């Protein structure tokens, strides 16, 4: 019997029990669909995290203040005192550092006419734009002269523009922060969410002097929320981090046995850790989806064993009139492979459609790759052969006389 004849015979046999066949195909469809969707979501999350970190900058160090403690209890209001503008000035002279930006930040309710919106307001120093490399879609950036003269101007993110004004073209408009008017001079390009999930576009940048004078008055006027350091391209981040810690410990007059009253975040390490975590998540999701494929494979074996039992007499007749064991083996393997092939193709189509549906209806980014489609397809075929082998082998080894006696 030719391969084509075997395929026609397999199709005819499966069609006779169409409901059973359809349920078995459904198991494979769900398995393949799950693998494609899970891999697409996992790869999408990995891409999203990588893009987010890239938007921040991988050659940056961020210095944060630490709270002073007493008997392991945080003393409120002491966190920002451990880091000052003077620290930023000293850090600028390190050989490993290209630029330094100081930031004071706090969330405020901002107003435009009768519209209110909560946004993160950051008072920035002159080098902020060069350090963050945050482009504008409209208007101008905050200049040195704006900072020196404490001008009440603001550069806003896209989220603030859309939520507060209902449009993007808002350069020249005036918004109020703590009832203090600030004129919009620029619109920041879209950055998306940060690693922690915070919307980076829900931000307002003002001169650091204006923020301290009108919005964030403090009895420690030279304190800052954090300092961003741009490391030179030819310098390794760990080396720069060591130099920063050494300088700040000396400047803060910390003894050898005293802990740092600041912390330094290395964005390259954060990027590496986040990438490893998302890769592990992708593997976990794919493994969970793979279990459903195995369940579908068990369903294949089950239906084929039932088919062998129901068709024992047919097998005996074929063997009696000259069919070889190889013919019987091939016949049942083709049937199981045909079920998996159909389920695999349908599962691929459903998986791709569902992935893009998830992407369009939710903020989750999906990345459907050719490799995940091919892997799912060939695994489904492999499952058909693997789980169909035992029933097919059992059928091919039947004795004709014994098989013919079965009712």
Q: Which residues contact 113 (CB under 8 A, 6 or more apart)?
A: none
Q: What is the mean pLDDT of each run of 10 residues along the chain (407 residues)?
A: 60 70 83 85 76 66 70 43 85 89 91 90 89 86 90 92 89 91 92 71 92 86 88 85 89 86 76 70 77 79 75 73 75 79 88 88 80 82 79 73 58
In angstroms, rounded to a whole number, what is the distance separating the alpha carbons of residues 44 and 350? 18
Q: What are the backbone angles phi and psi of residue 198, rounded to the nearest 5°?
A: -75, 140
- Of 277, 388, 357, 381, whose CA–CA distance to 31 is shortest? 381
How do residues 16-69 score in pLDDT, each as one tens digit? 777 777 888 888 888 888 888 888 888 887 777 666 666 556 678 888 887 544
Tens of pLDDT, residue by residue over 94-144, are 888 888 999 999 999 999 988 899 999 999 988 888 888 888 888 989 988
Which pLDDT score, from 0 to 100, does residue 338 have? 82
**336 closest CA partner among 292, 374, 392:** 392
pLDDT for 156 = 93
Please tell me the distance from the alpha carbon of residue 313 to that of residue 320, in angstroms, as a whole number: 10
Between the CA atoms of 300, 305, 307 and 311, what dihedral angle is there, to the nearest 10 degrees? Answer: 160
Q: How are beta strands 97-112 and 226-231 bridged, if at all?
A: antiparallel
Closest listed residue to residue 91, CA positions, set 261, 241, 270, 258? 241
Strands 153-156 and 180-188, by their bridges, are parallel
């Amino acid at each position: 019997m030719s391969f084509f004849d075997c395929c026609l015979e397999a199709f005819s046999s499966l069609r006779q029990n169409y409901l059973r066949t359809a349920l078995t195909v459904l198991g494979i469809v769900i398995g393949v669909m799950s693998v494609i969707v899970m891999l697409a979501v996992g790869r999408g999350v990995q891409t999203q995290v990588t893009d987010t970190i890239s938007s921040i900058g991988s050659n940056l160090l961020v210095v944060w203040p630490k709270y002073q403690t007493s008997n392991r209890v945080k003393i409120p209001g002491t966190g920002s005192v451990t880091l000052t503008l003077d620290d930023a000035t000293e850090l600028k002279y390190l050989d490993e550092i290209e630029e330094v930006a100081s930031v004071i930040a706090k969330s405020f309710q901002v107003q435009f006419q009768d519209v209110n919106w909560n946004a993160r307001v950051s008072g920035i120093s002159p080098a902020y734009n060069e350090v963050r490399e945050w482009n504008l879609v409209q208007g101008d950036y905050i200049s040195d002269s704006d900072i020196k003269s404490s001008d009440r101007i603001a550069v806003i993110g896209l989220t603030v523009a859309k939520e507060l004004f209902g449009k993007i073209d808002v350069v020249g408009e005036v918004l109020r922060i703590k009832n203090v008017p600030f004129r919009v001079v620029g619109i920041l390009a879209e950055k998306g969410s940060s690693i922690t999930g915070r919307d980076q576009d829900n931000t307002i940048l003002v001169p650091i002097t204006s923020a301290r004078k009108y919005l964030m008055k403090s009895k420690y006027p030279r304190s800052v929320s954090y300092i961003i350091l741009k490391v030179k391209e030819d310098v390794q981040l760990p080396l720069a981090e060591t130099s920063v810690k050494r300088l700040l410990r000396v400047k803060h007059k910390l003894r050898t046995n005293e802990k740092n009253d600041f912390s330094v975040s290395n964005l390259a390490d954060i990027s590496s850790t986040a990438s490893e975590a998302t890769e592990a998540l992708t593997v976990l999701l794919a493994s969970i989806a793979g279990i459903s494929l195995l369940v579908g494979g068990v369903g294949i074996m089950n239906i084929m064993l039932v088919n062998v039992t129901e068709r024992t007499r047919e097998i005996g007749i074929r063997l009696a009139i000259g069919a070889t064991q190889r013919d019987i083996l091939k016949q049942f393997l083709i049937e199981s492979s045909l079920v998996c092939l159909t389920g695999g193709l349908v599962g691929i189509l459903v998986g791709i459609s569902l992935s893009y549906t998830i992407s369009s209806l939710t903020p989750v980014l999906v990345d459907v790759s050719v490799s995940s489609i091919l892997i799912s397809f060939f695994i489904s075929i492999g499952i058909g052969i693997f789980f169909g082998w035992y029933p097919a082998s059992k059928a091919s080894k039947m004795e004709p006389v014994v098989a013919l006696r079965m009712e």
